[in-house]
Structure 1
Amino acid sequence: MSEWTRTRKMQRSLVYDRLATYGFYGLGIMVLLMIFWLLLTILGKGLPGLNLEFLMKLPEDMDPGGGIGPVLFNSFYILILSLLISVPIGVGAGIYMAEYAPPNKFTEVLRICVESLSSVPSIVFGMLGLAIFAEYFQIGLTILGGAVSLAFLNLPMLARVTEEAVRAVQNDVKNASYALGMTKFQCIRTVVIPMAMQGIVTGICLVAGRAFGESAVILLTAGLSTSGEMWDFNLFSPGETLAVHLWYVQSEAIVEDARQIADKSAAVLVIVVLLMNLLFRIPLWISNRRLKK
């Protein structure tokens, strides 16, 4: 190969590299602009009329001026219950698949099944919860049914994300811990989980945000109403959440200010999801800064 040909190829590679760099930067900027536009649109319509009274007041079926107090409480209540169920099982399943499951055909089939369940529409899990709690156990549409159904929905994604986070830990680190005399469980507890914690927390953030904004599962398993009380901890009460209430107000409500209620509810939904992601991230940021010091 002549020097001139080699020079032309190098110049062409540099041009392609520069074009690819500009292209990826452009795509990233477009995505950021789209996200900011969505946030500004939703928050711009809902934030001006948002106040504490709206967050604490009971919803109204006929008269204007209703609030979202019980449905907002139900959203947090069902979310916490679903995370209490799904996080230990999902994280444990991910650790088992990454560290304990033998590399055979059964494990591969199991992994494919988990990945497939992650992409199943949420309405399917809602139908499953409806069949189990409303038809088989005959307990109706309840907070308990909604929380367990949401846990079923989040388990595959949480298990898969945890498995990938644990697999990302370098084998050299684990081998070093074994060389120090640690058992496998000690290595997982003191080395693997802390190093994979950022990925695990990311998975928890994803499933928490998805659960808080889920409507199809809640509509089929927890219902389209509340008990009428602001703080109702009864697991067998109906459990309409903020996302379901937003859908109902936008499509079915007959109150005069339905549009304003929907805008303010959407703003609250977005703000809560953003705050949840921030709260989950703060401990990781503090831990990373301590490790760097």
Structure 2
Amino acid sequence: MNAKKVDKVATIILYLIAGFVVALLGIFIIYILYRGRNNIFDFNFIFGSQKLGEAGGGIGMQLFNSFYMLLVSLIITIPIGLGAGIFLAEYAKEGKIVRFIRLCIETMAALPSIVVGLFGLLIFVTMFKLGYSILAGALSVSILNLPALTRVSENAIRESSKKVKEASLGLGATKWQTIKKVILPSAMPQILTGIILAAGRIFGEAAAFLYTAGMTGNLYKFDAFSLTDKVSSFSLFRPAETLAVHIWKVNSESSSPDAFQIANGTSAVLIIVVLLFNITARLLGNKLYKAYSGK
């Protein structure tokens, strides 16, 4: 075959592989949503409290814990990961130290979540005496997300700086002004992708939270009209059972007669929340990119 035929065959094969992956993902999502269809539009389930030993129950506080954990984790992860990416791309000089740092980052990116969970248990829960808490869980999952976000930020900043860095510096801007006003806005789509991936891992993480954030708390008897409960729910030093941990707990302990249905409903809600978050973050990121780039 000549080069054109080889190119067409390769293109068709790649399209078939991509279509198979997308179809497999679509079937997986549809299957989860179908199994949890009875609970998706049930507000008593979505916003209700868990009932131990009896049917019914909801995931309201687990849903709140997941969003709260996401917020705290991203507050820790984004500044450090983005700052490390800026340093490696714009300030660090190539050498043995930088290569060693990149090696450490790549090694950390390959760590299993259960290992990070055990590390968080030993360091944050035990040594720093944070106990099973939101802060301990957020610090642990940040260790999982920092390497990936750092690498994404570094690559995005380095690629963007090739196009606009010299032009900005040539017009008299300082290096920090160039990074802040020109490079970062240009790299925003790629950086946002890294943040979305980090957020998805936070939502779906179970092993690290199991060892650091715990599975119980003071929220099963939560009273929305009680000022004390409202304040305590935002405490960083209380246990917090997230949606992913709740799915594992319900399946493993079967603490209620309808445990299987609750697990299916929780899985469906988790999928929908992740999809909505990704879509919202993407739309917001595109608006920010257009605002900064003037498009």
TM-score band by shorter chain is over 0.9
The CA deviation string for residues 89-137 of structure 1, in whole angstroms up to 9 with x for no partner, is 1100011001000011110111111011111111111111111232213
Q: Percent identity?
A: 44
**Which residue is 2:114 aligned to?**
123
Tell me, in whole angstroms, the C-alpha distance in 2 between the residues paired with 1:138 and 1:233. 19
**Which residue is 1:97 aligned to?**
88
Name which of structure 1's ranges 221-230 and 69-78 shifts more when overlaid on structure 2.
Answer: 221-230
Contact 2:186 2:289 in 1 (8 A): no
Tell me, in whole angstroms, the C-alpha distance in 1 between the residues paired with 2:287 and 2:26. 27
Correspondences of 1:192-211 after superposition (within 5 Å):
192-211=183-202
Correspondences of 1:136-155 after superposition (within 5 Å):
136-155=127-146
Q: What residue identity is the alignment partner of 2:88?
A: M
The CA deviation string for residues 126-183 of structure 1, in whole angstroms up to 9 with x for no partner, is 1111112322133321111111111222111111110011111152421111110011
Tell me, in whole angstroms, the C-alpha distance in 2 between the residues paired with 1:171 and 1:133. 40
TM normalised by structure 2 equals 0.92
How many Å apart are 1:57 and its aligned residue? 1.2
How many Å apart are 1:287 and its aligned residue? 4.7
Tell me, in whole angstroms, the C-alpha distance in 2 between the residues paired with 1:156 and 1:287. 25
Contact 2:133 2:212 in 1 (8 A): yes
**Which residues of structure 2 form unaligned runs of 5+?**
224-229
Name which of structure 1's ranges 185-194 and 220-229 shifts more when overlaid on structure 2.
Answer: 220-229
Task: Note the aligned Cα RMSD (angstroms).
Answer: 1.6
**Which residue is 1:7 aligned to?**
none
Q: What residue identity is the alignment partner of 1:25?
A: Y
1:225 to 213, 216, 230: 216
Tell me, in whole angstroms, the C-alpha distance in 1 between the residues paired with 2:267 and 2:146. 26
How many Å apart are 1:14 and its aligned residue? 1.8
**Which residues of structure 1 form unaligned runs of 5+?**
1-10
Equivalent position SS for 1:238? coil
Q: What residue identity is the alignment partner of 2:209?
A: I
Contact 1:71 1:226 in 2 (8 A): no
Tell me, in whole angstroms, the C-alpha distance in 2 between the residues paired with 1:170 and 1:234. 41
Tell me, in whole angstroms, the C-alpha distance in 1 between the residues paired with 2:37 and 2:173. 54
Name which of structure 1's ranges 92-101 and 282-291 shifts more when overlaid on structure 2.
Answer: 282-291
Contact 2:59 2:266 in 1 (8 A): yes
TM normalised by structure 1 equals 0.92
**Which residue is 1:14 aligned to?**
4
**Which residue is 2:148 aligned to?**
157
Residues 1:82 and 1:89: Cα distance change in structure 2 (over 3 Å) = same
How many Å apart are 1:225 and its aligned residue? 1.0
Tell me, in whole angstroms, the C-alpha distance in 2 between the residues paired with 1:148 and 1:25. 40
Equivalent position SS for 1:256? coil
**Which residue is 2:26 aligned to?**
36
In terms of Rg, which structure is larger? 1
Tell me, in whole angstroms, the C-alpha distance in 1 between the residues paired with 2:144 and 2:163. 35
How many Å apart are 1:292 and its aligned residue? 7.7
Q: What residue identity is the alignment partner of 1:253?
A: S
**Which residue is 2:286 aligned to?**
285
Equivalent position SS for 2:240? coil
Tell me, in whole angstroms, the C-alpha distance in 2 between the residues paired with 1:292 and 1:81. 32
Residues 1:135 and 1:121: Cα distance change in structure 2 (over 3 Å) = same
Tell me, in whole angstroms, the C-alpha distance in 1 between the residues paired with 2:139 and 2:58. 27
Structure 1 residue 110 and structure 2 residue 101: aligned? yes
Tell me, in whole angstroms, the C-alpha distance in 2 between the residues paired with 1:224 and 1:119. 26
Structure 1 residue 66 and structure 2 residue 57: aligned? yes
**Which residue is 2:261 aligned to?**
260
Contact 2:189 2:286 in 1 (8 A): no
Contact 2:141 2:202 in 1 (8 A): yes
**Which residue is 1:24 aligned to?**
14
Contact 1:61 1:253 in 2 (8 A): no
Tell me, in whole angstroms, the C-alpha distance in 1 between the residues paired with 2:111 and 2:124. 20
**Which residue is 1:6 aligned to?**
none
